[in-house]
Amino acid sequence: MASVASASLTLGAGGGTRISAPRWVWVLVPLLALAGIFFYPLFFIVKQSLTGDAGPPTLAHYAALLSSSFFHAALLRTIQIAVLSTIGCLALGFVLALIVSFVPFPGVRLFSGFIDTILAFPSFLIALSFTFLYGSAGAFNFIFMDLLHTTQPPIDFVYTKWGVILAEVTFYTPFVMRPLLAAFSQLDTALIEVASSLGARPFRIIREIIFPEAVPAMLAGGSLCLLLTLNEFGIVLFIGAKGVVTLPMVIYGKAIQEFDYTAGCVAAVVNIALSVGLYSLYRYVLSRTGGGRASVL
Amino acid sequence: MLGAELGRNVAASDTPREASARRQPGIRFESVTVAYGHTVALEDFSLDIEPGEVMALLGPSGSGKTTALRAVAGFVTPARGRIFLGDTDVTQMPPFRRGIGMVVQQYALFPHMRVEQNVGFGLRAGGAPRGEIAARVREWLQLVGMGAYAARYPQELSGGQQQRVAIARALAIRPKVLLLDEPLSALDAQLRSGMLNEIARLHRELPDVTILYVTHDQIEALTLADRIAVMNESKLVDVGSAQSLYQQPPSRFTATFVGNANLLAVTIVEFDYARQQARVRLGPRMLQVAASAAAHPGETRMLCIRPHALSLEPHAAGANTIEGTVTDVQWRGSAHRLYLDVDGAELCVDSKPLRAPPPRGQRVSLHFAPHDATLLAAPDGPSAGGRRAEPPGDRL
């Protein structure tokens, strides 16, 4: 029982100094740090959303924001962009991971390294590069306007929700590819060879052998994508798409631009609830579909 | 049941082999060379496998036997040469068009599919009607004794059961050729022995399936194969029936790899053409041995004697007796294995279990019958004496 109730820490190479303390002490320290850094501000956000600047707790602030059509549109737009971006990331990530893993080509290592580099970029950089490439005065429009002898830019999707989605797909696809590449590296090539010898053509092998093995990794990568795109702020802000307002933009607009902290906190709480709900769903789905194999993430 | 199905299109007068010769293709390698970058994995490999024949590719690791099998399956493309299934050149044909069943060492069952789905995979890929798939899956699972496990997943099966399912899956598509790549290597000794019998039984029931069996285990090869192709260092060394390779090994490598033979350098003294026997000199001793090919007095040959063909004699008297000093004694349950030093060469002897095995250092006498020994070509290496060869296949 003593070993359960207490734990000791030995300092120094010779084991000269021993600190013996109850086990809960070792849990308490990180818990306090977490509370100070995360739960305390969270508590104040929730408190502000309920009480406003002063007064007793009430749900009136929630009712006011949640009933506004502006908020409904932002919520729907957030979910729509996140879902479409995640689908795009899954599709593109699966195809690219397949090519990298099973269709060896010169420069595959360089390509793989480039994917890791994208993971290290800040997300707004992608939005910025999109503006330079596909924006009204971007490189592609400049070339096409010259070729087509027109004054109107022919590429005109960047400042719409599709521009945001494309930028998010570009930025977040590596988050799907990484676990997929790890899963494919674990896949026994004998499965593919045997399937092929049994008469299965490449598409059937992808559909019936490779894809089922990739599902846990896709769930892991896809869920991460969904969570990240749901909370994406930098790309939406830098693209500056007209009429594309997402929840993080609502929070920013209310709290920073309009100084309406209460409404900003209400939107933040809704955003947090959405993220936590999705994360819980992800854990549940993962536990039902062989989550152990998704630990590659 | 199965034999009836396979024999549906066979004329009543046909023997299974005759029928298979007409219906099933054999395999033909024509000077096949396979290279991985600058490494040659299979060099100028030519071999004819008859329809319905079981051919074992036997050799140590890295001898090129699996590469040969993968070339037949279509997973590697030869740099030179051609491969035929029957009269069809399949050298450039994609694997899914070849109609080959394949069983690999680690079973390679699809982990997310139930047993019945695994067995039916090839049938689905081939576009068989759903009703026919179910019937054939049932039939094949019954044949390999796995009928009761149809709804299970592979991870719920033992190694032996998984291998049975893998065999049923490969056979369910009615392949022209069945490729078995070390199919028993992952099983323990007892299961391996049982599965060996199972495969032998399956082949008796399916005499028209041509089987290419890759193994490094001589017992598997000797048990199953009609013929054995011995391979070493990416090349074909010898081909022959299991019996001929064992009793009359054409080369030193085959003699030692198949059956762990003792090889001793001897000098021909006299050759009796009528009796097909030769008198040879081994150090100071004169020995009488069988010799199928002409041997000239004064020539150096290798005397090949199997360990079990040597018997311990209480006295150093009589013909064909060799004396040596015991260097090691090993008890192997059903036999004692002795290692002896004979004039600097090592000799291996398998005897019945001995009540009082000779201790190390004791001088003993060994006897062998002339027809239990054979003469091989002169040594092609520096060693003129016997060597302690322990092929992996010795473990069964």
Does residue A3 fall inside a structural domain?
no
The answer to whether residues A124 and A181 belong to one domain is yes
Q: Does A111 reside within a domain?
A: yes
Q: Which domain holds residue A29?
A: 20-58
Burial of B37 (0-12, 13-18, 19+ CB in 10 A): exposed
For the ranges B49-58, B73-82, B159-168, B349-358, which has the lowest average pLDDT?
A: B349-358
Residue B396's pLDDT band, with cuts at 50, 70 and 90, is very low
Helix/strand/coil percentages in chain A, nearest 5:
75, 5, 20
- Residue B22: pLDDT band by 50, 70, 90 thresholds? very low
Residue B92 Cα to chain centre, angstroms: 28
Contact A184, B85 (CB under 8 A): no
Q: Does B119 touch chain A (CB under 8 A)?
A: no
In the predicted structure, residue A65 carries a pLDDT above the cut 60: yes
Burial track B358-382 (b if 16+ CB lie within 10 A, e otherwise): beeeeebbbbbebebbbbbeeeeee
Strand B210-215, strand B177-181: pairing: parallel
Residues A26 and A95 in one domain: no
Query: CB distance from B293 to chain A under 8 Å?
Result: no
The reply to whether residue A197 touches residue B100, judged by beta carbons under 8 angstroms, is: yes
Report the complex ipTM.
0.78
Q: Are B385 and B324 in contact (CB under 8 A)?
A: no
pLDDT surpasses 60 at A290: no
Verify that A43 and A117 share a domain, yes or no.
no
- Residues A285, A185 share a domain: yes
In this structure, is residue A110 part of a structural domain? yes
Distances (CA, A) of A208 to A78, A291, B68, B121: 33, 20, 28, 9
Q: Compute the distance between CA of residue B122 and CA of residue B126 in angstroms, rounded to an integer.
A: 6
Looking at residue B226, its amino acid is D
Residues A133 and A33 reside in one and the same domain: no
* Closest alpha carbon within chain A to B117: A208
Q: B175: nearest CA in chain A?
A: A198
3-state helix, strand, coil in chain B (%, to 5): 30, 30, 40
Summarize the confidence of residues B256-260 as an average pLDDT: 86
Give dist(CA A167, CA B236) in Å, integer. Answer: 58
Q: What is the pLDDT of residue A149?
A: 82
User: Do both A229 and A139 map to the same domain?
Assistant: yes
Mean pLDDT of all residues belonging to chain B: 85
How far away is chain A from the Cα of B114, in angstroms, using its nearest Cα?
13
Taking CA atoms, what residue in B is nearest to A190? B108
- Do both A159 and A261 map to the same domain? yes
Domain boundary among A6, A39, A58: A58
Exposure class string for B330-353: b at 16+ Cβ within 10 A, else e: eeeeebbbbbbbbbebbbbbbbee
CB B148 within 8 A of CB B183: no
In the structure, what pLDDT confidence band is assigned to residue A16 with cuts at 50, 70 and 90? low
User: β-strands B27-36, B39-49: how paired?
Assistant: antiparallel
Beta strands in A15-149 (DSSP E): 17-22
Are both A53 and A148 inside the same structural domain? no
Phi, psi at B9, each rounded to 5°: -95, 15
Q: Which residues neighbour B61 within 8 Å (Cβ) at sequence distance 6 or greater?
A: B216
* Rounded (5°) CA angle B149-B152-B154: 105
Q: Is residue A200 part of a domain?
A: yes
Per-residue pLDDT, B118? 96
Domain assignment present for residue A54? The answer is: yes
- Would you state the pLDDT for residue A10? 55
Residues in chain A closer than 8 A to B170 (CB atoms): 197-198
Residues of chain A contacting B, Cβ within 8 Å? 188, 190-191, 193-201, 204, 208-209, 212-213
Interchain pair B106, A201: CB under 8 A: no
CA distances from B304 to A66, B73, B266 (A): 94, 37, 10
| Same domain (yes/no): A139, A105 | yes
Domains of chain B plus CATH, in order, are 2-99+175-247 (3.40.50.300), 260-386 (2.40.50.140)
What percent of chain A lies above the pLDDT cut of 70?
91
The length of chain B is: 396
Q: Are B303 and B322 in contact (CB under 8 A)?
A: no
> For residue range B57-79, what is the model confidence (pLDDT) as tens digits?
999 999 999 999 999 999 999 99
Nearest to A74 by CA among A244, A242, A226: A244
The pLDDT, as a whole number, for residue A19 is 66
Q: Are residues A30 and A113 in the same domain?
A: no
Stretch (H or E) spanning B68: helix B65-73
* Rounded Cα distance, B200 and B55, in Å: 13
Q: Which residue has the tokens 């501000």?
A: A41
What mean pLDDT is predicted for residues A168-196? 93
A198 domain-assigned: yes
Instruction: Compute the average pLDDT of residues B179-208.
Output: 86
CA pair distance B175, B55, nearest whole angstrom? 16
Inter-chain touch A193–B108, beta carbons under 8 Å: yes
Q: What domain count does chain A have?
A: 2
Say if A1 falls within a structural domain.
no
Alpha-helical (H) ranges within B173-301 are 189-205, 218-224, 242-247, 252-257
How many angstroms separate the CA atoms of A242 and A135, rounded? 13
Q: Which one of A270-279, B29-38, B382-391 scores highest in mean pLDDT?
A: B29-38
Residue type, B110: F
* Residue-wise DSSP of B128-163: --HHHHHHHHHHHHHHTT-GGGTTS-GGGS-HHHHH
CA–CA distance, B143 with B135 (Å, rounded to integer): 12
Q: At what angle do helices A161-186 and A211-230 cross, to 10 degrees?
A: 140
Backbone dihedral region for residue B89 (phi beyond 0: left; psi -120 to 50: alpha; all else: beta): beta
**Global pTM?**
0.76
A83 shares a domain with A52: no
Contact B96 A201 (CB under 8 A): yes
Strands B262-272 and A17-22: unpaired
Do residue A197 and residue B126 have CB atoms under 8 angstroms apart? no
- Cβ contact A26:A7 at 8 Å: yes
Please report the pLDDT score of residue A6 as a whole number: 54
- A205-232 tens-digit pLDDT: 999 999 999 998 998 899 889 999 999 9
In this prediction, residue B394 carries a pLDDT of: 35
CB-CB neighbors (< 8 A) of B169 in chain A: 194, 198
DSSP B293: S
| Single-letter code of the amino acid located at A48 | Q
- Phi (first) and psi of residue B374, to 5 degrees: -140, 160
Give me the residues paired with residue B346 across strands.
Answer: B341
* Mean pLDDT score, A146-159: 82
Which among A191, A199, A212 is the nearest to B173, CB-wise?
A199
Average pLDDT, integer, range A58-78: 90
**CATH number of the domain that residue A132 is part of:** 1.10.3720.10
Residues B233 and B239 sit within 8 Å (Cβ to Cβ):
no
Residues A198 and A75 in one domain: yes
Burial class (CB in 10 A: 0-12, 13-18, 19+), A32: exposed
A153 in a domain, yes or no?
Answer: yes
- Please answer whether residues A134 and A163 qualify as being in contact, where contact means their C-beta atoms are separated by less than 8 angstroms: yes
Where among A28, A58, A88 does a domain terminate?
A: A58
Place of tokens 């092609």: B380
